[in-house]
Amino acid sequence: MIDFSSLSMLPSVDFYFLRHGKSEGNLQDLVQGRLNFPLSELGRGQAEATGKWFTGKPIVRVFTTPLARGKETARIVCEVASFPGPEELPALIELDTGVFTGLTLEQAKVRYPEMYQRFLKESWEGVEGAERIPQLQERATVVWKTLVASVKELREEGVAESIGVLAISHAGLLQWIVKVTLGSQSWFPILPMGDCGIYHLSLQGTVSRWALLNFQAPGVTGHR
């Protein structure tokens, strides 16, 4: 579980997380992992529509994965919504997808039939070389600690009472950014992760709740 008690004196804090738009790798149905594909033209349009949805929200700091598809999504959203420029946060990088990296799931099924069956039962825990749950939990916790610390810094600098931060990441890590707040130890159930899916945790005093899970801005469609 994540401890938000250090922010309980603040009347309102909003943590937003965003999955990147559709990449060139997504269009090929590839397991991308940490391969560095750019956004597709469709993905750029998704990011622009998402930026319009974010316009007017009190986002005062933006963090992004170092991978190109996330950085480009962050840049477009920040430009459209007039947010501060995004800062790279290495912990936001996608999970390592092991030997499935660069394959479609159909190719993985043919090349690694036994491992593919484990994947269906265990998700990435069943794939050779893939990042394991304890590592993902650790990275997700680092992300949360960074965001909480940034809110405290902003408050100390005299930023207005309503503070929002935004982090752009990937489908695999976003699962654990949500799950560590709930104390989950398993991949299952797997949360839906659409293109430019928005996840919003609202913190009001001592009460925290997930207000949005996989919300897509008007005009954005497409699922993992």
CATH number, domain of 86, equals: 3.40.50.1240
119, part of any domain:
no
Neighbouring residues of 134: CB distance < 8 A, sequence distance ≥ 6: none
Give the range of the structural domain holding residue 196, as residue numbers without chain letter: 5-96+131-215
Q: Is the pLDDT of residue 60 over 90?
A: yes
Edge-first strand order for the sheet with 87-88 is: 87-88, 59-64, 162-169, 12-19, 198-204, 207-215
pLDDT tens string 64-97: 999 999 999 999 999 999 999 999 999 999 999 9
Is residue 116 assigned to a domain?
Answer: no
10 has pLDDT over 90: no
Contact 45, 17 (CB under 8 A): no
- Domain-embedded: residue 145: yes
Q: What is the pLDDT of residue 205?
A: 82
What pLDDT does residue 224 have? 62
- 104-125 average pLDDT score: 98
Does the structure show a pLDDT above 80 at 137?
Answer: yes
In a domain, 50, yes or no: yes
Reduced to 3 states (helix: H, G, I; strand: E, B; else coil), residue 205 is coil
Count Cα neighbours of 222 within 13 Å in the Cβ-side half-sphere. Answer: 20
pLDDT over 80 at 223, yes or no: no
- Across 144-170, average pLDDT: 89
Question: What pLDDT score does 162 carry?
Answer: 81
Q: Is residue 224 in a domain?
A: no
Burial class of residue 107 (count of CB atoms within 10 Å of its CB; 0-12, 13-18, 19+): middle
User: Is 19 part of any domain?
Assistant: yes
pLDDT of 12: 87
CA atoms within 13 A on the CB side of 63: 23
Q: How many domains does one find in the chain?
A: 1
Does 57 map to a domain?
yes
Residues contacting 36, CB < 8 A, separation 6+: 67, 68, 69
The overall average pLDDT reported for the chain is 95
Q: In angstroms, rounded to a whole number, what is the distance separating the alpha carbons of residues 203 and 131?
A: 30
Which of the four pLDDT bands, split at 50, 70 and 90, describes residue 42?
Answer: very high
If we measure between CA atoms, which residue out of 26, 17, 153, 191 comes closest to residue 91? Answer: 17
Mean pLDDT of 133-139: 98
Query: Which of the residues are catalytic?
Result: 20, 94
CA 102 and chain centroid, separation? 20
Residue 12 dihedral angles phi and psi, to the nearest 5°: -160, 125
